[in-house]
Amino acid sequence: MKSKHSPVAMAYAAILAVVLIWGVIPAFKKALIGGHYSAAVYTAMTTLGGALALLVLSAKRLKNLNATYFKIAIPTGLCVAAASLVQAIAYNFDASPTKQAFLENLSCIVVPLLMLLLVKKKPSMLTVAAALVCLVSSFILGDMLSVGFSFSIADILNALAGVFYGINIAFTGIYAKKLDAKLYVMLQLFVQAISSALMALLFHFVPIGGTPIDPFVFTPNFLLILGVFALGILTNAVCWTLRTSAMKFVSPSVVAVIMPFSAVVTGVVAVILGMDTISWTLIVGAILGLAAALMSSFGDLAESKKES
């Protein structure tokens, strides 16, 4: 029986679900997992958990894997791994979390530029405006007005992470449209898991300024490990598959603008759980983030109608 819902509407619903899940997870991750695993170890475990779950779910379709999957999934997986790497190194230089959040969202600018360079798709004025509003929203949400802004090594590294995230979104949206989302994400997650495991060793044994970049921390507690793998299945296997499937119908530029809205969800959850207090930055940033998402979505729908 066919669904009565439009594929585009379902795609936007999937992206919204991912934004909500990625927004809620940080608070629970901090409460449940905080301090038990180092950043690289946690990433290796969650990506491995997601990859193994998709391997089980896609067992009957593994015969469909071909060179095209590897040509796309390996570079995109390495991009996300590289983003994690430079962010972890940035922490060693006393990176500001507020600046990191802002600079990471440079991906909303990078994606339209890559679309223009790779497939000659000129961004509409609405797309450009949405990307700029998205950046302003991130600037306010990060409370950058009070923190101030000056470039350092850490800032450059975090900006580079934003570029890598943007490359991942653009390449997925352009080259993975015809691929099986589960198989594609499975390969990408295995690449991330292997890269993160190597990073965990590298960060522990290669110091910067006399101290390890990210000291190896692993707590061999069965329930904790089970919890980490469960988070990995939800945040990686489910969310990445949903987002990849949605990008078959939604422009990568729209995804790059909507994804940062998860920071608003994180802020709201933190307020509800008593971890933070509501502020004008959260309210204004949320309004601007919503405006950017709507602008980008309307622009994408208009472009799709024009192409049709």
Cα 156 to Cα 230: distance, rounded to the nearest angstrom: 33
pLDDT in tens, 186-210: 999 999 999 989 988 887 777 766 7
Could you tell me the pTM of the whole model?
Answer: 0.84
Q: What is the DSSP string of 261-286?
A: GHHHHHHHHHHHTTSS---HHHHHHH
Report the alpha-carbon distance of residue 207 to residue 205 in Å, rounded: 6
**207, 20 Cβ separation under 8 angstroms:** no
| pLDDT (mean) for 87-104 | 63
Most confident of the following: 36-40, 48-52, 95-99, 157-161: 48-52
User: Out of 63-67, 76-80, 90-94, 279-283, which region has the weakest mean confidence (pLDDT)?
Assistant: 90-94
**pLDDT of 1 strictly over 60:** no
Neighbours of 297 (CB within 10 A): 20
φ, ψ (nearest 5 deg) of residue 149: -140, 120
Residue range 29-58: average pLDDT? 85
CA-based radius of gyration for the chain: 19
Structure tokens at 3: 């669904």
Using CA of residue 248, residue 141, residue 289, residue 127, what is the dihedral sign? Answer: negative
Reported confidence tier of residue 140, pLDDT bands at 50, 70, 90: confident
Q: What's the confidence (pLDDT) of residue 51? A: 96
To the nearest whole number, what is the mean pLDDT of the chain?
A: 81
- Tokens standing for 259? 């994804």
Name, in order, each residue with C-beta under 8 angstroms of 223's C-beta and a sequence gap of 6 or more: none
User: Is a pLDDT exceeding 50 seen at residue 305?
Assistant: yes
Residue 126 pLDDT more than 90?
A: no
